[in-house]
Amino acid sequence: MNEPDTRYARADDGAYIAYQTVGAGPIDIAWQFEWMGNVDVIWQSRVFAEWFEGLASFSRLILHDRRGTGASSRNVAVPNLETRVSDLLAVLGAAGSERPVLGAQLEGGAASVMFAATHPARVHSLFWWYPAPRSEKAPDYPWGMEPQALAVEMDDIVNAWGTKAFEEGGGTASGAGLPYSLLSRQTATPDVAIELENIWRETDVRGTLPAVTAPTLLLARHQDREALEYIASLMPRAEVRLFPGAPPFSSLPAIDEQAAVLAAIRTFIGIEAPTPELETILATVLFTDIVDSTRKQAALGDRGWKDLVEHHHAVVRGALSRWRGSENDTAGDGFYATFDGPARAIRCAQEIAERVRDLGIEIRAGIHTGECELIDGKCGGLSVTIGARVASKAGSSEVLVSQTVKDLTAGSGLMFEDAGEHELKGVPDRWRLYRVVAS
């Protein structure tokens, strides 16, 4: 197969995202690289080329380089998870893809599950080779990498990126024809590689998995059954498919494995999945209200308070418009809004807190990301209650967030302080909250 033409999609902020399409359908597959990749160079690897040709034999395959890497815009900030979802939307729009299957390898699947949870109507189904919801081993995730191994990996990136020494431990990129030294140089410069690696180490998408309502196929080898069954247990419609083979890890199935894995994927997506009824969606909820509002109202009187509230509302609504938030409810001096990305919700809350000081008032804000029930087109349910309870714990000009929000904003430039564990009224368990600090 000849290498396909590379085109560009324009993201919301003007960045250019390089993408390719190959194959004729009948269904679209949007594939997510792990972060090392370049759509122009990757075809030199026999393993990648055969894998992509196999997928394109029964689909229109859509590939893209994430921003900051490959043929995409390099003079931009390294993408966090939220930006990767927005860029995928831009690529799908440019390619004219309405409801693709999302495919991925390793950490590339993090953006797929975030996209599927946030935009369920845009996803047919998912498949994920060697799913990795987080990178590092933890007490509740024993399948991650040991800290010592991660330290060695980072040392290789810092000291040997792009050199012959970089490929000594790994041979070539998934086998034939493409040395890691070349692929690494064509992916990113060392500073960007370090940032991307750090972002992945700080990311944990397990909190997102229960909100993925699309059918999902998790694929790996038999020896990794336990890890896959754990991940599948977190997803409403996930199934596991295991394959023989000794290698404990590989970026893609080896050439002699590909036919069986591709057949499993083809069977899985060949059954038409029904368009999901949008009863639930992953959303980030933001609650704000004015601190000491009763005392302020008494001091100003009804007329003065009315004028102040109107100015406050104008500030909040202006910020919501700039940060793509949706106003869900307004009660007195409080706002409840939703966002499709947690970093934007935090930035919006920070802007509101800063600007209302000019009015002589302060606000408190709370943010949570979770699965929400759609009630008359608006988000409701326990996740919304949690967001409101988080806000109730905040102090003057303070933005508090849940652990889930912190885990999903790695690489956004935001900084957090541990605000301790709290009981949230009417919500089970104790919840660890984090205070947003200046970034």
d(CA 188, CA 248): 27
pLDDT at residue 36 in the model: 86
Superfamily of domain 280-437 in CATH is: Nucleotide cyclase, GGDEF domain (3.30.70.1230)
User: What CATH class does 7-270 carry?
Assistant: alpha beta
d(CA 8, CA 207): 32
pLDDT at residue 405 in the model: 96
pLDDT at residue 124 in the model: 96
d(CA 154, CA 152): 5
pLDDT at residue 2 in the model: 65
Beta-carbon contacts of 276 under 8 Å, excluding residues fewer than 6 positions away, are 120, 121, 213, 214
Q: Is 0.85 topped by the overall pTM? A: no
- Annotated domain spans of the chain: 7-270, 280-437
d(CA 335, CA 328): 8
- Spell out the per-residue pLDDT of the chain, length 439, in tens: 567 899 999 999 999 999 999 999 899 999 998 888 899 999 988 889 999 999 999 999 999 999 999 999 999 999 999 999 999 999 999 999 999 999 999 999 999 999 999 999 999 999 999 999 999 999 999 999 999 988 988 988 898 898 888 776 554 444 456 777 888 999 999 999 999 999 999 999 999 999 999 999 999 999 899 999 999 999 999 999 999 876 555 678 888 889 999 999 999 998 555 555 667 889 999 999 999 999 989 998 999 999 999 999 999 999 999 999 999 988 888 999 999 999 999 999 999 999 999 999 999 999 999 998 887 777 888 999 999 999 999 999 999 999 999 999 998 999 999 999 999 998 888 999 999 996 6
pLDDT at residue 177 in the model: 61
